[in-house]
Amino acid sequence: MRVLVTGGAGYIGSHTIVELVAKGHDVCIVDTFRNSSPEVLNRLEEITGVRPLLHKVDVRDRAGMKTVMESYKPEAVIHFAGLKAVGESAEIPLEYYDVNVQGTVVLLETMQAVGCKTVVFSSSATVYGAPQYLPYDEAHPCAPSNVYGQTKHMAEQILTDWQLANPDSSVVLLRYFNPVGAHSSGRMGEDPDGPPNNLMPFVAQVAVGRREKLAVFGDDYDTPDGTGVRDYIHVTDLARAHISALDYGVKQAGTDVFNIGTGTGYSVLDMIKAFSKASGREIAYEVAPRRVGDLASYYANPAKAGTVLGWSAERGIEDICTSTWKWQSDNPRGYGA
C-alpha cells in the first residue's frame, strides 16, 4: 500500500516507517524537519534498505500538500506531524493550534481531493486530563488541562466529524501513553533539541555525561515511592500499533479510538533504577519541586487494542532502557554527531 507519513522524520514516525517497510508498504514522508534531522533518512535507508521519498512541505501549506497528494496518490495517511511540548504550548498557543489543528484540516482537505479515505492519527493520553478513575479506558471523559492536549482533542473531533460526513472513510485515533526507547540497532532514537523535557531522554543524557544530574520533579505524590507513575511504551511496540491500526482502518469505514500503552505504571525511581542497570552507570539525581501541571499517576487500559486490533505491547522497561542506552551511547550527540 502507498502510505503517506506526515512527520515521518520524527521520533515515532521514523520508527513506524521501519515497520511499514518491513511489511512491504511503500512510504512517502512529508516533513519540514522543524523538530528532526535529514540524517534520519540515511539511518532509515541503512536499516530498511529503502530510502523513503521525501517532500519538505509544511502540512499547513495547502498548495504544497495538494501537489504531494496528486503526485503520490496515497492509499492511506499516518499523521504524526505536529508540535508536542506541553510547556511550550502555553507560551505559543496560536502556533500549536495552527500546526496541530489547522494542519489536520489541510491534510483532510487535500486527502479528500485525491479520494484518500484512511487516516491514522497520533493522539495522546493527555486528552483525558486528570483521571476520574484508573486505568484510563477509551470511555474516560476527555478534559485536557493544557493547550497541547486541547489541540489533540480538537483534531480528534475534526477527524471524527470529517469521517461522519464521508461515511466510506476511516479514522483511527491512537492515544499514546509515554513513548520511549529506541530502535534495537542503536541507529535511530529520540533526539531532542536542547535540554530534554521528558524523563527518559534526560536520564540517558545524564548517563552519557551530557548533563550533570536529573531533577526528580516531586517525591511526595500519593504513589508507592512518592514519584510520578507513567505507562512507558516502547517506540517499536508503538510503531507496530500503527501497522495494526492501518490494517484495521483499510478494512472498514468509521472512527475508532485506542489506548496504546502497556497497562503497567512505573515510577520515576523505577525508571532510574532500570536505566542504571541497563547502562552500568549511576544516574545522579536530586529531588526538586513538583513540575506544574504534572499528574501523580496515569496508565492505560489497553484491552481494546488487544481485542479489536490484535495488538499488545511486547517490550518492557528492560528493553526500553537497553535500547535507549545503545542509541545514546552510540550517538552521544544524537543525529548531529
The set of catalytic residues is 148
> Which residue, 126 or 259, is less far from ligand WQD as judged by CB?
126
Alpha carbon 27 to chain centroid, angstroms: 18
Q: Does 59 bind ligand NAD (CB under 6 A)?
A: yes
Taking CB under 6 A as the rule, which mask of x and - marks residues 77-96 in contact with ligand NAD?
---xxxxx------------
Stretch that binds ligand WQD, among 161-169, 198-206, 242-250, 303-311 (CB under 6 A): 198-206
Q: Does residue 334 touch ligand NAD according to CB under 6 A?
A: no
For residues 189 and 324, the answer to whether their CB atoms sit within 8 Å is yes
Instruction: Pick the closer one to ligand WQD by CB: 124 or 279.
Output: 124
Comparing CB distances to ligand NAD, the nearer of 58 and 219 is: 58
- For the chain, the straight-line distance linking the first and the last C-alpha, in angstroms and rounded, comes to 34
Q: Distances in Å between the alpha carbon of 237 and those of 73, 80, 247?
A: 28, 16, 16
Note whether 216 binds ligand WQD by CB under 6 A.
yes
44 near 5, Cβ under 8 Å?
A: no
Residue selected from 6, 16, 126, 331 as contacting ligand WQD according to rule CB under 6 A:
126
Tell me, residue by residue from 28 to 47, as one string, x for binding to ligand NAD by CB under 6 A and - for no binding: --xxxxxxx-----------
Chosen from ligand WQD, ligand NAD, none, partner binding at 243 (C-beta under 5 to 8 Å by type): none
Contact partner at residue 199 from ligand WQD, ligand NAD, none, CB < 5 to 8 Å by partner kind: ligand WQD
C-alpha 302/C-alpha 309 separation (Å) is 11
Which of ligand NAD, ligand WQD, none sits in contact with 297, Cβ below 5 to 8 A by type?
none
Task: Residue 92: count other Cβ atoms within 10 Å of its Cβ.
Answer: 14
The residue assigned the cell 535529514 is 38
Give which of ligand WQD, ligand NAD, none residue 204 binds (C-beta under 5 to 8 Å, depending on kind). Answer: none
- With CB under 6 A, what is the number of residues at the site for ligand WQD? 18
Kindly tell me which residue out of 3, 4, 5, 9 binds ligand NAD, with binding defined by CB under 6 A: 9
The 155-194 site mask, x for binding ligand NAD (CB under 6 A), equals ---------------------x--x---------------
Calpha distance 160→172 (Å, rounded): 9
CA 244/CA 15 separation, integer angstroms: 14
DSSP string, 258-287: EEES-S--EEHHHHHHHHHHHHTS---EEE
Please say whether the dihedral angle defined by the alpha carbons of residues 325, 5, 153 and 82, taken in this order, is positive or negative. Answer: positive
173 neighbors 257 (Cβ within 8 angstroms): yes
Site for ligand NAD, rule CB under 6 A:
6-7, 9-13, 30-36, 58-60, 80-84, 99, 103, 122, 124, 176, 179
